[in-house]
Amino acid sequence: MNGLSKFRRLAVPALALALTAVPMTSYAAGGRGGSDQQRGSGQGGRSGKTLYAHTKVTTTVNGSSTTTETGSLTSRDVNWTPPACWYEPAFSPKQLKGSLDALRKFNPFGLGNMVADVYDGYFKDGDPYKNYNLDKQGEGMFWAGVANPNREDEPEAQACDKPPFWVDNGETPDEPLALTPQVLAEYAYDELPVPGTEIEMKPAGATKVNLPTWIWLDKAKFKKISVTASLPGTGLSATTTAEPVSLHIDPGTSDAQTYPASGDCQINADGSIGEPYADGKANDTPPCGVTYLRSSGSDGAYALQATVTWKISWTSTTGEGGDLPDGTFGATQDVTVQEIQSVNR
């Protein structure tokens, strides 16, 4: 194993341990937040072999104070996923040196001291760095790989394994995985807390063969959701917004007719989906619904799946912005379908 390979394998996780003992100006990502909440107000840390993301996340659900029963979006583009890791400004020369001093104190006779020696060879007496760039304090930062906290256990999160590298203030490194406004927006995509899609149905619980079943969703549930990811101290942030556009109904069997025929129920102007059932409409065609043509029989129930599609867009403090792949989030409900009983005289 050459020196650089040893550096990547041993030094990065060990330095992450040291960062928890050194005051940092950056932030660590925590658990998923609710409406109008911020998360990531702590210090840098580690999970496994990766540093926590230093970005801060703020979630807003159309001014609402709470969100319940939320889930994460799945991209409709099977070839696209939010980033698993990226490189971002992590520490100043003084912080990098201080991390190694702390590491030696933490583990003076074992791996910590050995890793500190490796770092010294690279940043103190190496090439291109001398004495941790202390003479450039305030002129730039060392960038390091961090993991998306939602994907830190995935193999792709290990791709940002380069040792910390220097970047002058105002410059963007020539690195495909370097933090950009779009990377922030894509990370915010991964944090969108979309509401569950448990639908209202009439008849509820059980329905009959050839009887239209009305399906609708409350307008209060489906509003625009925005998440802002920012890098504290830089003024850089990106806001990703999800807007519901349609509900797709999959009745769980081919022996059914959906309304509309495509199974795609559009969002109404007030944010609701479909139309609540009212007395006297049992035989009317619902704007959103399904008619089952065969009973569920011995299987007990059909698994009806309701999936909401969300249109995703983003803006940033740099003026950059655009669209990201549509996302979906759905739920499955059991529907029992019975034969209509008749009496012959």
What is the pLDDT at residue 134? 96
Burial string for 67-99 (b: 16+ CB within 10 Å, else e) reads: beebeebebeeeeebbbbbbbbbbbbbebbbbb
| pLDDT > 50? residue 45 | no
Report residue 308 as tokens.
Answer: 């909401």
Same domain, 308 and 165: no
Q: Which residues pair with 259 in a beta bridge?
A: 289
In a domain, 183, yes or no: no
Same domain, 304 and 217: yes
Same domain, 112 and 157: yes
In a domain, 143, yes or no: yes
> Which tens digit of pLDDT belongs to each residue from 75-87?
999 999 999 999 9
Please indicate whether residue 330 or residue 103 has the higher confidence score (pLDDT): 330
Confidence label for 121 from pLDDT (cuts 50, 70 and 90): confident
Contact 49, 158 (CB under 8 A): yes
What is the pLDDT at residue 179? 92
What is the pLDDT at residue 301? 92
Report residue 3 as tokens.
Answer: 């020196």
**Helix count (H) and strand count (E) of the chain?**
5, 21
The overall average pLDDT reported for the chain is 79
Q: Domain range for residue 159? A: 3-57+84-176
Same domain, 154 and 32: yes
Closest CA to 309 of 33, 77, 150: 77
In a domain, 182, yes or no: no
Contact 33, 39 (CB under 8 A): yes
Q: Is 142 exposed, middle or buried (0-12, 13-18, 19+ CB in 10 A)?
A: buried
Same domain, 259 and 313: yes
Confidence label for 43 from pLDDT (cuts 50, 70 and 90): very low
What is the pLDDT at residue 310? 94
Give how many domains the chain has, as a whole number.
Answer: 2
Q: Of 108, 143, 176, which marks where a domain is finished?
A: 176
Contact 250, 304 (CB under 8 A): yes
In a domain, 77, yes or no: no
Same domain, 119 and 202: no
Same domain, 259 and 158: no
In a domain, 343, yes or no: no
What is the pLDDT at residue 59? 65
Contact 250, 230 (CB under 8 A): no
Same domain, 18 and 161: yes
Confidence label for 3 from pLDDT (cuts 50, 70 and 90): very low
Confidence label for 133 from pLDDT (cuts 50, 70 and 90): very high
